[in-house]
A and B are shown apart, each in its own frame.
Chain A
Amino acid sequence: DVQMTQSPSYLAASPGESVSISCKASKSISNNLAWYQEKPGKANKLLIHSGSTLQSGTPSRFSGSGSGTDFTLTIRSLESEDFAVYYCQQYNEYPPTFGAGTKLELK
């Protein structure tokens, strides 16, 4: 299985700041990578697929980049609603696999 390694595991930031989350695949996955947001009491949300394509409804302050093995999720000008857990997931190979998650906390 393709191993997905996210870093950091925890990230503390303040509203208005920009943050980046890294996701590395154990082998090339082309651009077949998605990012998800998990918040307590809410359904998980698909933010980005195909490495950089924003899903409908995802605010433009979110962006994804990368291809091959290295990917980044960037959130510009953090808003209070962005504090959550973020997961990357590869779907280039079966079975699809997720990263362990990055918890973005309020500083």
Chain B
Amino acid sequence: EVQLVESGGGLVQPGRSLKLSCAASGFTFSNYYMAWVRQAPTKGLEWVAYISTGGGSTYYRDSVKGRFTISRDNAKSTLYLQMDSLRSEDTATYYCTTTRVYPYVMDAWGQGASVTVSS
């Protein structure tokens, strides 16, 4: 069974940094692209970032480009999201997802990590 467990969320001041982790199990992590999706309070879902199997190709939504970095450690089956220069509008629950069916189709999701950016 696929399991995705996010960690590292919390309360952070604007302009500061936070790093999310996602421990994956139940599938061959290194074989698949992975993605982060977020959901702001009372809002819908928003794709954030995407990473290739080896980590050499990464993609970001415009609003986080230059501030967020997606990465992975295939030896540890772990996905990361380094978030720098955080803004209040980054407040959201961040979900780790697999994309095993088709590019950008999120076929399995974690339970999410809550990030609150506030002074």
- What residues of chain A have their CB less than 8 Å away from a CB belonging to chain B? 34, 36, 43-46, 49-50, 55, 87, 89, 91, 94-101
Q: Are A98 and B105 CB-contacts (below 8 A) given A43-B110, A43-B111, A44-B95?
A: no
User: B14-71: which residues lie under 8 A (CB-CB) from chain A?
Assistant: 44-47, 59, 61-62
Most buried by A among B4, B95, B108: B108
Q: State the CA gap A49–B108 with chains docked (Å).
A: 13
Q: A43-B111, A44-B95 are in contact. Are A91 and B45 (CB under 8 A)?
A: no
For chain B, what secondary structure do more than half of its interface residues adopt (helix, strand, loop), or is it mixed? loop
- Picked from A44, A50, A94, A101, the residue with its CB within 8 Å of the CB of B106 is A44
Q: Would A44 and B109 count as touching, CB distance under 8 A?
A: yes
**Residues of chain B contacted by A44 (CB below 8 angstroms):** 45, 95, 106, 109
- Name, among A36, A87, A100, the residue most crowded by chain B CB atoms within 10 Å (CB to CB): A36
What is the CB-to-nearest-CB distance from A99 to chain B, in angstroms, rounded to a whole number? 7
24 contacts between A and B (CB under 8 A): A34-B106, A43-B4, A44-B106, A45-B109, A46-B101, A46-B107, A49-B101, A49-B105, A50-B102, A55-B107, A87-B45, A89-B45, A89-B105, A89-B106, A91-B104, A94-B59, A95-B61, A96-B104, A98-B44, A98-B46, A98-B47, A100-B44, A101-B44, A101-B45
Q: How far is the CB of A13 from chain B (nearest CB, A)?
A: 21
- Chain A's nearest CB lies how many Å from the CB of B73? 22
